[in-house]
Structure 1
Amino acid sequence: MHLFTHPTRRSRPTGTDLHGIYRTMTLYDFQTEMRAGFFVSYYRNFAIPSTAKTLAARGEMKNRPMKRSYDTAIVIHEIIANGFDSQRGQAMIELLRRVHKGVPGSADDFIYVLMTLLVLPLRWIQRHGWRQLTALEEEAAVAFYAELGRRMGLGPVPGTFAAAGEFLDAYEERRLGPSAEGASLLEATVEAFAIRVPARFRRLTPLVLALMMDKPEVAVALGLRPAPAVLKFPFHAVMRFRAFKARRRPLPSEPSFVPGRMNTSVYPDGYELSQVGP
């Protein structure tokens, strides 16, 4: 059973249901692109020394890296799929508020983490998507994270996609840098990404990650070797070919995420919300 009605051809979203538009973008129209963008967002936090230090001190990423990776994805996708006011969505927001209570950091630090989830997936679509985003889709994404920030008690967040990008870039210009904690977190969690890489290329996972980062300095901050310039052209060529093929396929008829269902080594039989989180 589908979560909501979805068109059978490649059409641009219309209407004023901003949450529905963002849900369609994430779970259907841009399944592959959003998944890649969320991975970039996940690792981005390790490139901020103060954030990496906090994450390392809490221990979960090192002790249970696969669970932490999947739980992070589950929380945001549960809210996207079910809505803020659903029982499942409210449970995930309460979990976010609980796990962040008492975590050191400024308001900008927390807003930055939120902006990585907004900005980086959409930038990935801008560079590698099968089509460009509409203004309404950008507005829908901004509205989703503004509401998430409000419900988490973070205060005002950037109100446009352009402002969100400017905030993220300015924050990174001040704070991006390598750290021992960031490198150790990457090493502990990279398996969560490697299992999605074709087996014959898994030994090249660090290189693939470096190629995915939109700024060379991010790779350096993560403790990765910057991707050689000679490999950037074939990487982008592969991305363009994937987008070319995607434009000619029917829209996905099944969502990329179904609440409670996740066929992984961590949750081989699915999960209950009580299992999610530390």
Structure 2
Amino acid sequence: MSWLDLRYARQQQIQRLDPVTDHCQICHLLAGYEFPWDITRSLELAMLKTYCVPSISQLLDRTNEFHHHTQKRYDDTGLLVAEILKWGYDSDRGRESIRRMNAIHGHYPISNEDFLYVLSTFIYEPIRWNERFGWRLFAETEKLAIFYFWLAIGKKMHIRDIPSSYERFAQYNQDYERQHFIYSDSNRRVGESTINLFLSWFPAWCRPLFRPCVHGMFDDLTLAAFGYSNPPVAVRNLVENSLKLRGHVSRWLLPRRKPDFFTDSKLRSYPDGYELNDLGPTKMLSHLNHSPKQE
């Protein structure tokens, strides 16, 4: 078998699967083997974009979780999503992760349309990222599998009126952003707390250099909703071209033999490992761990 055959063997394996019935397996392969870094980064961008909606950012701002426990909130979100991607939503750990999410969300007055928008970002931000920076493009089978995967999870989260087609939900996502991305001080505060978290992962001397690069990832609607000015064209080009270069280089790497899920990372919040019972807002953990289990 040639190097090229090895590099694209997993894509060929995915192409033999059905996006409707095999979407869990396809998403497992995409998130764990084909695009682990890209999917993590695209979901970080998705998370930031949800803060452009005042009804979402005001709720997060009031809880103070994103200001006082930013790293834990980030790690918990990543772990819950990764547990479902790694094990599937019908596994024991997948079902427990969804129960955990439902219990956390059940404490807050979140509108169904906000739930719908957040769900849509988990589908379309990874796809858009892939179109810009992927080492190869998602095939139609893979894009549909991502849609059906999150459609099933949305139903398990009791989200109502989820558009039943890939195209209709993509349109909902775009229409929602045009209508609801409005500047609010809470957008700025929650966004700043999260961006500061990302920057804290780098040495202090280079953080001021990286900040405009984060802004360079945002489209005009997102920048306006956060109250940021447009970064210089040179910064946008640097970010865009650097990520495209990474994609080109990745194309020539040997395929991953071992999975790389967020659950396998050494996390700042859980240096000694974690249990699902550890995940959730700090003030709510005791209640969550003693509440009746429900999906």
TM-score higher than 0.5 here? yes
**Distance 1:74-1:39 versus aligned 2 partners, 3 A rule:** same
CA apart distance, 1:258:
6.1
CA apart distance, 1:60:
1.4
CA apart distance, 1:63:
1.8
Residue-by-residue CA offset, 1:91-119 (whole Å, 9 max, x unaligned): 11111111111422332111001111111
Q: Show the 5 A alignment for 1:61-210.
A: 61-196=66-201, 201-210=206-215
Q: Does 2:277 match 1:274?
A: yes
Q: Give the conservation status (yes or no) of the 8 Å contact 2:78–2:262.
A: no
CA apart distance, 1:205:
3.3
Q: Give the conservation status (yes or no) of the 8 Å contact 2:199–2:207.
A: yes
Distance in 1 (CA, whole Å) between partners of 2:145 and 2:271 is 33
CA apart distance, 1:8:
4.7
Distance in 1 (CA, whole Å) between partners of 2:110 and 2:277 is 27
Q: Which moved more, 1:55-64 or 1:198-207?
A: 198-207
Q: Give the conservation status (yes or no) of the 8 Å contact 1:119–1:164.
A: no
Give the secondary structure class of the aligned counterpart of 1:212. coil
Letter in 2 for 1:218: T
Q: Which moved more, 1:191-200 or 1:140-149?
A: 191-200
Moved over 4 A (4+): 195-200
**Distance 1:252-1:198 versus aligned 2 partners, 3 A rule:** farther
Q: Gapped runs of 5+ residues in structure 2?
A: 282-295
Distance in 1 (CA, whole Å) between partners of 2:163 and 2:135 is 27
Residue-by-residue CA offset, 1:168-211 (whole Å, 9 max, x unaligned): 11001111011111111122222332245576642233312211
Task: Tell me the percent identity.
Answer: 26
Residue-by-residue CA offset, 1:51-84 (whole Å, 9 max, x unaligned): 1001111221122111001101111110111111
The number of residues matched between the two structures is 270
Q: Which moved more, 1:61-70 or 1:231-240?
A: 231-240
**Distance 1:159-1:205 versus aligned 2 partners, 3 A rule:** farther
Letter in 2 for 1:33: D
Q: Which moved more, 1:220-229 or 1:195-204?
A: 195-204
Counterpart selection for 2:248 from 244, 250, 272: 244
**Distance 1:264-1:171 versus aligned 2 partners, 3 A rule:** same
State the superposition RMSD in angstroms. 1.9
Distance in 1 (CA, whole Å) between partners of 2:135 and 2:205 is 26
Partner of 1:217: 221
TM-score, normalising length: structure 1: 0.90
Q: Gapped runs of 5+ residues in structure 1?
A: 1-6
TM-score, normalising length: structure 2: 0.85
**Distance 1:195-1:8 versus aligned 2 partners, 3 A rule:** farther
Distance in 2 (CA, whole Å) between partners of 1:100 and 1:146 is 18
